[in-house]
Homo-oligomer: A and B are copies of this chain.
């Protein structure tokens, strides 16, 4: 059983509800060193995300992208445990734990442009809760329905509080029409407690198509009525940092332009995983780092 009180209950009842966030968004103080300006931090705190166009140079990205293309196209990746295929096809949709499985992405995860920004927002030491590439291939990439990452990480992984963030780094250009990440500005201030229970081994299905922990249409409408929808676009190398409770998703991609992105999830070392709040067994290590978290505490100047 969890050792901490469940302050963000979800998947317990038969009606959805909003729960006000009781955690800070930016944990660092103005004195915490890092690459983000105070205006950027204020915008992140207010909106729940921050897009930085061309944070990485085209040459850096080109190497990462061609590497990931070759790697995810190789036969051994296709059948690997951390590989998820598209619903209705065998096209690779996501590969997990890339920062441990590929040295280039291990280095990228420790790049100070990402890591120090995460440390600045989360206020000190962080580790990698989850990493993945999403390939959203051209012609056949399917949507990711709206979700708060935190809802799943809390219920299924036992993440106690909202003190984590994702960064999505574009490996190909993100256009308005190739299924870019959409975020609901200011949605991170409220937690949508979802209906239903979590089935055992839910992750085997949910990473292809989520069916539990799905926010209801009325709550989503309330959030977009207030905040609208933002869909940052930009060339390869553009980064979007977003809070663990920011509601986000993406549409399908029938264009010939693949939308490949790397996602790194940094969690504060003060916010380590407990037993899952749904009472089931934890998800495997490659989806939610638990065993290796201590050893992998990221040090900015390592």
Which A residues are closer than 8 A to B by beta carbons? 138-139, 142-143, 145-146, 175-177, 179, 182, 217, 220-221, 224, 229, 231, 249-257
Contacts and interface: CB of A to CB of B under 8 A. Distances in A.
B139 A217 contact: yes
Contacts of A177: 176, 182, 229, 231, 251
Contacts of A249: 254
A254 B256 contact: no
Contact of A220 (B139, B175, B221, B252): B139
Contacts of A175: 229
Q: How many copies does the complex hold?
A: 2
A145 B252 CA distance: 11
A217 B89 CA distance: 15
Nearest to A252: B252
A25 to B, nearest CB: 24
Contacts of A139: 217, 220
Nearest to A177: B231
Contacts of A251: 177, 179, 251-255
A175 B175 CA distance: 13
Quick one: which of A220, A229, A254 has the most chain B CB within 10 A?
Answer: A254
Contacts of A231: 176-177
Quick one: which of A139, A142, A249, A256 has the most chain B CB within 10 A?
Answer: A256
A253 B253 CA distance: 11
Contacts of A220: 139, 256
A145 B142 CA distance: 12
Quick one: which of A143, A250, A253 has the most chain B CB within 10 A?
Answer: A143
A249 B138 CA distance: 13
Contacts of A255: 182, 224, 229, 251
A293 to B, nearest CB: 32
B143 A256 contact: no
A75 B30 CA distance: 60
Contact of A224 (B217, B229, B253, B256): B256
Contacts of A224: 255-257
A54 B257 CA distance: 30
A231 B233 CA distance: 15
